[in-house]
Structure 1
Amino acid sequence: MAFEIDLDAIAAKREEEIGSTDRFPFVFKGETWQCLDPLILTDDLKAELQELDNDDLEGYVLFFLGEDQAQKFWEMGGGSAQVANAQRLWVEHNTDESGPTRRTPSSNRMQRRSKRR
């Protein structure tokens, strides 16, 4: 039996669990913000993001939060560092490779030691 990835089912499950197919929530100053998910940007959005200057921190926040949220986010003391940190944590959470099918380096060492005995 071949392994099949159903992207439609993944998007539907994501919509059900977090309420969006392309954004993820994070909390800052007691408010929940909806950030564009950097893991699933469309090609057009990737191109738009690449057009931003590296030092355009305002543009970065606008891109990922959108105009409506960005203004309030800034008023509450938020900035690009908070958005980048939320994204980093989101990416780490969604690319965690420590699942049951992955061996950790320590378990590999333990197996080598037990074979030597």
Structure 2
Amino acid sequence: MAKPMTVDEYIEAFPTAAQDHLREIRTLLWSAVPTAGEQLKWSHPAYVHRDGVILFMFSGHSKHASLAFTPSTRAAFADELAAFQTGKGTVALPYGTAVPVDLVRRMLEYRVREYEIEGVKWM
């Protein structure tokens, strides 16, 4: 597979079911921070604050999409994420299941405040 040049190309490289999930996540990320820039970082879609700091990223995998925040954002929602597979700053969202829109939206808002008020940069 050729290295994607745009976020659209990135999403289109996945099977249809995964594309739908990734597009839903993308729309949710844009709605949370419409002023963020969208770029590919390490070949994955990233949302960058107007100051140039990465706020969050997403990526597609064979069985799930992954959202990446700062570890402190993930930790702040640890109780609500107990049913999900998580990593240092990531949350796996399995294809074929509903995206937890309310939870993700609150995590996105937390991450933006975390950067803008507390100055927490990317990992």
Instruction: Say whether the fold is shared (TM-score over 0.5).
Output: no
Higher relative contact order (CA 8 A, sep 6+): 2
TM, length-normalised to structure 2: 0.28
Identify the structure with the greater strand proportion. 2
**Greater Rg by CA:** 1
